[in-house]
Structure 1
Amino acid sequence: MGITIIATIFVFSVIVVIHELGHFMTAKMTGMQVDEFAVGFGPKLISHKVGSTVYSLRLIPLGGFNRIAGMTDTEQAMTAVRRNKCFISKSLPARLLVMAAGALMNFILAICLLWGVFFVAGTVQISPEPIIGQTINGSPAARANLQTGDRILAIHGEPIYQWQDIGRVLSKHQKDVVTVTFKRQGKEETAHLIPETDASSQRQIIGIYPVEQKQRHGFLQAGKLAAFQVGHLSGFMVQGIYQMVTGKAKADLAGPIGIAQIAGKAASVGFADLLVFTAFLSTNLGIVNLLPVPLLDGGHIIILLVEAIRRKKLPARALVYVQTAGMVILGALFLFSMFKDITRLF
């Protein structure tokens, strides 16, 4: 439990603070007044004012936030000096940059994390051969005495030629006793076991990992590979969101509980795995924040573009309706993801 809590705080703090740092830096660059840059939420523990900005550390270490003048204040309530440095007084490109910078920083963070992991630890290549690289303690495979190096030949009479064939065949035998035929040191043997259902993926598993081979990379090669991986992952996520929205794929979201569980598992394997998961979640946050949903950065960008086309601000009542719709959408997604997390637990 302890490692899960620490890993969750680390992951959320890093990706949210870096996201807010993107808004902060671009706001400063474009001459906007940032009233506060906070790490954490809740009551202040420490605060210090530098120039016109208060930098604070708060009690709940799960992210952070910016208070940029003009994003919540009304223009009439500002002084002339403050009005000149507020968000709404700046040019459209400046405001678009500030709104997009958070997501951009998330992508940069993901690339930097993967770059470091790929350069220091290398990458792992998964062998397509149906050879057991490792068994999980207490799993059906371990109880059936399957061992590292065993080559699986058949499951329940169906030939196994590649590692991916294992999952395909097991999916047909939920709660069935299956016979696994394997070769060990040149001798063909059999084992009998019952597959289990994985809580997160709902797939049938027997508790085995494939053979892994590490590959080292030079500094520039690692950076290139990291950028490619983040780009590929972003495209995959966008496609997944599109399929869920259009009903072509089942909506399967992870909420705070699910993320905490995954973070804890990653941290228990090693710090490099936790960094890889942080990169994955940072990419996810970048994509989600650019969605055209009110209250998200993407929603703000759409509003800015609409106002630019209209050459005037949206009516206050329209903004209230838009923000209310955004709250409903985000609230529904949060409740749905929490429901999915709870159903996975049981």
Structure 2
Amino acid sequence: MLHWLWNLASFVVVLGVLVTFHELGHYWVARRLGVRVQRFSVGFGRPLFKHVARDGVEWVIAAIPLGGYVKMLDEREAPVPAEWRDQAFNRQTLWKRMAIVAAGPVANLVLAVVLFWGAFVLGIPGVRPVVGEVVPGSIADKAGLQVADEVKTVGDRPVKSWTRFSLLIVEHVGESEELPVTVVRHGETVSLQLPLAEGGPLGENQSPLEWLGIKPWQPRPAPLVGQIEKNSAAERAGLKPGDKIVAIDGQEVRIWDDIGEYLVGKAGKSVTISIIRDGKEMTLVAEPGHNKRFPDKGYLGIAPKLDQQWREAVAKLRTVERFDIGEAIPRAIDRTWEILALSWKGLVKLLTGHLPISNLSGPVGIAQGAGQSAAVGPAYFLNFMALISVSLAFINLLPIPLLDGGHLLFYFVELVRRRPVSETAQMMAMKLGLLFMFAMFVLALFNDLNRLG
């Protein structure tokens, strides 16, 4: 329950900040260009908070935090007093209207730069991209990647973490050309070429690393029992914290991962577990339960004891992407542009089938990401907010009626034809846009719930 409350609170913070800044863009430019603003609302539906300022603007926080709007004086919506008509939105020149509409997405891009800058100054934590396993016959295998290689560049861009590496790989999924990468192997830099054409489209629920055929290197805990769930198969069998598991059904256990491999197909069946306790070897009999996450694997209900050697190995894998205050500014601008370009490429890959439609995330997915990033730390949370801010800007710039990009499309047509798009045509397009956005929302929500299982 607390987990979901944490995610919800993080989601509200993320969306509240991003939507507020987006609408402030519209508001600020509208006021500077002489347009009268009537209402500034964060959220939709019933107002939870309302304040009328001296200038007549109604500031509102509404119940449904899935967006916001700035209501401007407009003769198309209600009669306007003669003395205010020059302040009505519909009376403004085409360029002023375009500037006001474009200001929202631009504000989100500016905010993204600020957030990336803050994240870079604090230092974004990550895990060094060290290869732990290469699947035979995979793209990575054909490129010559080896266990213990540490990736340093993808194309001409530096890589310091698996998160960064995965993002850059997604950008190139579906391409026919080979992608150059450099790795450090035994202290020497080695140049390789990833044959991307061998991979085809990204599969459903497949990560970029799985698509390449790579598993990250991670320290393997020793087979020492650290924790035991109550009423679990392990507790019923008599296992205790501190026990060292040395064999299962006569098969030697050397590392913790061996336990999971030996329990495949053992759910509901008796297994013999050989352990060492207080220097003495003992044999126990357990009947593993069923694992909801991995139904083909028996479940004992134990967790490993993480010793000092394991902790030191984990510490060596940690990395931080950090820049000083001055250098962080161009880095933040570059990262914002890079993510915006990646958003466009991602959309093209979705439409061409190179990325699965299941990659779309909705409010539940964003809430999970917000909660997880907030739990990691402030820099990671700022980085997450910056990514969502760029996505919000990109989505709003799409030429879909109902969005800012849809309005800009109408204005572009007006610019070419030298007369506005008819009210009837705009209303019809708005209805189609609403249906399309609702369908996308339902699809994204379905993906979210499907990922939850």
Q: Structure 1 residue 26 and structure 2 residue 29: aligned?
A: yes
Note the C-alpha offset of 1:249.
Answer: 2.5
Equivalence for 1:333: 440
C-alpha deviation, 1:4, in angstroms: 1.0
Q: CA deviation at 1:68?
A: 1.0
Is the deviation greater in 313-322 or in 324-333?
313-322
* Matching of residue 162 in structure 1 with residue 139 in structure 2: no
2:91 to 64, 89, 93: 89
Q: Retained in 2: the 8 A contact 1:291–1:299?
A: yes
Residue 318 of structure 1 pairs with residue 425 of structure 2: yes
* Residues 345 and 222 of structure 1: CA distance in aligned 2, closer, same or farther (over 3 Å): same
Secondary structure of 1:220's counterpart equals: coil
* Larger CA Rg, structure 1 vs 2: 2
Deviations 1:117-136 (A, max 9, x none): 211x2244653434xxxxxx
CA spacing shift, 1:172–1:58, aligned 2, 3 Å: closer
SS in 1 for 2:53: strand
SS in 1 for 2:323: coil
1:20 deviates by 0.3
Which of 10-19 and 216-225 deviates more? 216-225
Partner of 1:117: 119
Query: For structure 2, which runs of at least 5 residues remain unmatched after alignment?
Result: 152-182, 184-207, 223-253, 265-290, 295-312
Render the CA deviation track for 1:83-103: whole Å, top value 9, x for unaligned. 211111111111111111100
| Count of residues in correspondence between the two structures | 304
Q: Give the aligned partner of residue 4 of structure 1.
A: 7
Match of 1:48 among 37, 47, 52: 52
Aligned partners of 2:80 and 2:332: how far apart in 1?
45
Q: Which residue of 2 aligns with 1:239?
A: 345
Structure 1 residue 326, shift from structure 2 partner = 0.5
TM-score (norm 1): 0.77
Residues 30 and 163 (structure 1), Cα distance of their counterparts in 2 relative to 1, 3 Å cut: same
After the TM superposition, which of the residue ranges 214-223 and 99-108 deviates more from structure 2? 214-223
Distance 1:183 1:27 in 2: 59
Instruction: Among all aligned residue pairs of Structure 1 and Structure 2, give the percentage whose two residues are the same amino acid.
Output: 28
Cα deviation for residue 153 of structure 1 reads 7.3
Greater helix proportion: 1
Residue 154 of structure 1 and its aligned partner are, at CA, apart by: 7.6
Q: Does 1:342 align with 2:329?
A: no
- CA distance change for structure 1 residues 291 and 6 in 2, over 3 Å: closer, same or farther? same
Question: Cα distance, 1:276 vs. partner?
Answer: 1.2
Residues 163, 169 of structure 1: CA spacing in aligned structure 2 closer, same or farther, 3 A cutoff? farther
Question: In the TM superposition, what whole-angstrom CA distance separates every residue of 1:156-179 from its partner, at most 9, and x where no partner exists?
Answer: 9x9624367995599699xxxxxx
Task: Please list the CA deviations of residues 63-87 of structure 1 after superposition, one character each: whole Å capped at 9, or x if unmatched.
Answer: 532111128515xx32222321111
Instruction: Give the letter for the 1:69 counterpart.
Output: L
SS of structure 2 residue aligned to 1:67: strand
TM-score normalised over the length of structure 2: 0.60
Contact 2:128 2:318 in 1 (8 A): yes
Alignment CA distance shift 1:127-1:345 (3 Å): closer
The question of whether the paired residues in 2 share the 8 Å contact of 1:294 and 1:322 is answered with: yes
Evaluate the alpha carbon distance shift between residue 224 and residue 295 of structure 1 in structure 2; reply closer, same or farther with a 3 A threshold. Answer: same
Residues 283 and 31 of structure 1, relative CA distance in 2, 3 Å threshold? same
Conserved in 2, the CA contact under 8 Å of 1:14 and 1:63? no
